[in-house]
Structure 1
Amino acid sequence: MSTDNKIHHTEAPHNVLDRIIVRLGNMLSLLFLFTVAISFYEVVMRYVFDSPTIWVHESASFIGACLFVFGGIYALATNKHVRVVLIYDAVSERTRRYLNIFHHIMGFIFAALLAYAAYQMTESAIFSPFGELHFETSGSAWNPPFPAYIKIMIFLTMCVMCVQFVLHLIQEVSNLRKL
C-alpha cells in the first residue's frame, strides 16, 4: 500500500476544542522550563548555601503531574495517541474509519468511567466527611493542597476527554458517509 492512501496519524486539530487544547498545551509546556528553573534554584540553595527549600519538590511534582494529566487530552487533540499501526496501516481507508469509530466509542466509555472514579476521588479530596469544604493537603512541612488540586485536574481533564471523544466520533461518522 502506498503512503498516499494512508491516513496521517498526526493531523492538525479538526474542531474548536482541539485547537484550544493545543494552543493551551503549547503555552503550558513552558511550565517545564519553570520546573527546571525552580529545581536548579533548589540545588543551589541546598548545596551552595546549605539552605534547602520546603516548597520546590512539591511544586515541581505538582506541575509535572498536572502537565502529565493534560498530556492525555493534548495527545487526543493532535491525534498522537497510541494505536496498533501494524493493523491500522494494513487495512483500507474505510476499515480505518470503522476502527476509528470503535476507538472513539471505547475511548468515551473508558474516559467516562475514569471521570466517574475521578469525581469520587475529587469529592473526598475537597470535602471533609461531614461535608465541609476542606482540601486534602500533602502532610509535609509546607502542606499545600496539591493532592486535592491534582485530583480536580484529573476529573476536569477526563470530562474534557469525554467531550473530545464525542466530537471525534461525530466527525468520524460524518467522514465515513463521505466515502
Structure 2
Amino acid sequence: MARTLTTAVSNHLATNDIRPIHLLSIGFSTPVNLTDNSFDLTSSISGSSKTYTASPFLISVPEFEEQTDVSKSSINILLSGADTTFISVVLNENIVNDTVELFRGFLDSNNALIADPILLYSGNIDTFQIEESTNSSSVNLAVVSHWADFEKKSGRQTNNNSQQRFFSTDVGMDFASQTVLDIKWGRK
C-alpha cells in the first residue's frame, strides 16, 4: 500500500520523542472507535472527526507484514468482553463484512495527536470467536483484506434452494449435500 506522510508526521519522526499510539475503528451498526492510549483522543481522518476511546477492552493490536504483491492478508484483533460489551454485539448483529481500520498515530510533547495518522490496515470482518472462562472473556475478530473475495465465484450454487429458485419442479439437487463423491458430468 503506497503511503505518504504529512510534513507534521515526518518532522515528528525525525525527533527523539516518538510516542506511537493505535487508533482502531470497527464498523458495527453502532461504530466503535478505540485507542490503546491512556486517554481519549479526537482525530480528523478523511475529513470526519472521530473520538477514539481509551479502552481496556483492546487487548492486542496485531503485528503484520506488508506484501508487495497482490495477496489476501489477515489480522486478528483481540477484544476483552468481560462486561459482555462486545460479546452481545457479535452475537446479536451480523458483523461479518463490517469494516475495520487500524491507524498508527503519534503524540507530540503536549500529548496531542499529530494530524493525519497513518492507515496501517483496512479490511472486513471475516469470522469471530468468543472465548470464555470463569473469570474472563474475549472476542477474537479475524479481519481480511478486500482481496479475500478476489477468487470467489459469484452466481449459482449446487444446493436445492438455488436450483428451486430457477426451476421450481426440479429435484436434482435435493441430495447434493449428502453426495461426497465427485459427480462425473457428460461423457466418460
- Relative to the length of structure 2, the TM-score reads 0.24
Higher strand share: 2
- Relative to the length of structure 1, the TM-score reads 0.25
> Which one scores higher on RCO, CA 8 angstroms, separation ≥ 6?
1
Q: Which has the larger radius of gyration?
A: 2
